[in-house]
Amino acid sequence: MQFKDVVGHTDLKKVLIKEVKSNRVSHAQMLLGPEGSGKLMLAIAFAQYLLCDEPAGNDSCNTCPNCLKMKTLAHPDLHFVFPVVANKTNKIASSVDRLVEWNDMVLKQGYFNLNQWQMSLDEMGKNAAIAVEESRQILKRLTLKSYSGKYKVMIIWLPERMNAQSANKLLKLLEEPPEKTIFMLVSDNAEAILPTILSRTQIIRVPSLSIDEVADYLNKRFSVDKSVALSAASLSQGNMAEAIEVSRGAQSQHVFFNLFVKLMRAAYTANPLELMDVSDEAAALDKENQKNFIKYGLHIFRESIIMNYMKGELGNLRAEEAAFLDKFARFINNHNISELMTEFNEAHYHLERNANAKILFSDLSIKLTKLIKKGI
Ligand SMILES: [Zn+2]
């Protein structure tokens, strides 16, 4: 990971680079700031810069052997410590046992919070900690000889999740640091960290990202539609981890909306080519999203009825949906609503039982042409 892969923080990056250039790298540093501001990414980019053979003015080269190993997080001098849920059956005792999943999460998403990390492992709500077994592993890893002949970098994500025992062990390490070892602590919450640890680290404060920075990144990195990205970014107030999650939900709503509008237009005009086209598009969604699309249709029908018969109750609609329903809702009325609901519910039922999606959607679209006519 290079500095250029990390959103924003131009001045901070300069500070970190200057540390390396002037050979004044503190052996224990803490990146401290709000969740979703990119502290972990900064720590990794810093580690790569530190280990790079030919760092340029403001970034690592990304092509030397050390950079190539850092790119996949497989560099032997890079060590991660992070909270895990201990589990005897699965032999999970410390970060080392979750490294594959961890690297995958960092490379695919980069910005994430503890909840998302646990969600990716199906361990929501369970107690994730940096327990005392971890300190044994830390010592073991730090006795290894440096592979690059340079520094060993240990990135500790969320040191606030250390229990008293492991925190005390870490404190000892910070007091008598092993040679050529850099500790990078990445924390959301300094108040939950032992003051003695805090006083041993050089604290670097990382501010929130701006809404524009977050929106721009969602759009470029995850191809989130611009308007969706902007609303996800402002809802999350610059928390990139949260914005990624919000935008994923919102993005699929946006995709379903476009598809639904297309389907209704094709049904209204009874244009066979368009009908075929849109049913192919729906059938091309993955299984889960085919069902979600059907549920989305049911939601829009329900909202149309509410709009027609109970004016002024539009709490559940997004702006693009409200604008569409303003014209569309009147075609959904007591002449067709119950049949429409039945058809969509049946489609959902059959999709759950692995019906052929192509046949199902083309069948549904033909039925729709008749049902929409009933409402005109
Ligand atoms: Zn390099």
Question: pLDDT digits over 335-366, tens only?
Answer: 999 999 999 999 999 999 999 999 999 999 99
pTM of the model: 0.78
Q: Is the pLDDT of residue 374 over 80?
A: yes
- pLDDT value for 187: 97
Ligand 1 centroid, distance to 48 Cα (angstroms): 7
Tell me what percent of the residues of the chain surpass a pLDDT of 90: 72
Using DSSP, state whether 71 is helix, strand or coil.
helix
Q: 217-228: per-residue pLDDT in tens? A: 999 999 999 988
- pLDDT value for 312: 59
**Average pLDDT of span 51-67:** 94
Alpha-carbon gap, residue 9 to 13, rounded angstroms: 6
Ligand 1 centroid, distance to 8 Cα (angstroms): 21
60 vs 140, residue with greater confidence: 60
Q: Is the pLDDT of residue 315 over 70?
A: no
Ligand 1 centroid, distance to 14 Cα (angstroms): 17
Alpha-carbon gap, residue 185 to 165, rounded angstroms: 17
Q: Is the pLDDT of residue 96 over 90?
A: yes
Q: Is the pLDDT of residue 164 over 70?
A: yes
At 112, list the tokens.
């994430």
Torsion of the alpha carbons at 30, 36, 37 and 41, rounded to the nearest 10: 70
Q: Is the pLDDT of residue 291 over 70?
A: yes
Ligand 1 centroid, distance to 49 Cα (angstroms): 7
**Average pLDDT of span 159-173:** 90
Contact between 156 and 30 under an 8 Å Cβ cutoff? The reply is no
Ligand 1 centroid, distance to 248 Cα (angstroms): 34
**Average pLDDT of span 171-192:** 91
- pLDDT value for 287: 86
Q: 251-278: per-residue pLDDT in tens? A: 888 889 999 999 999 999 999 999 999 9
Using DSSP, state whether 330 is helix, strand or coil.
helix
Domains in the chain, start-ordered, CATH in brackets?
A: 3-208 (3.40.50.300), 245-375 (1.20.272)
Ligand 1 centroid, distance to 282 Cα (angstroms): 45
Ligand 1 centroid, distance to 16 Cα (angstroms): 16
Q: Is the pLDDT of residue 154 over 80?
A: yes
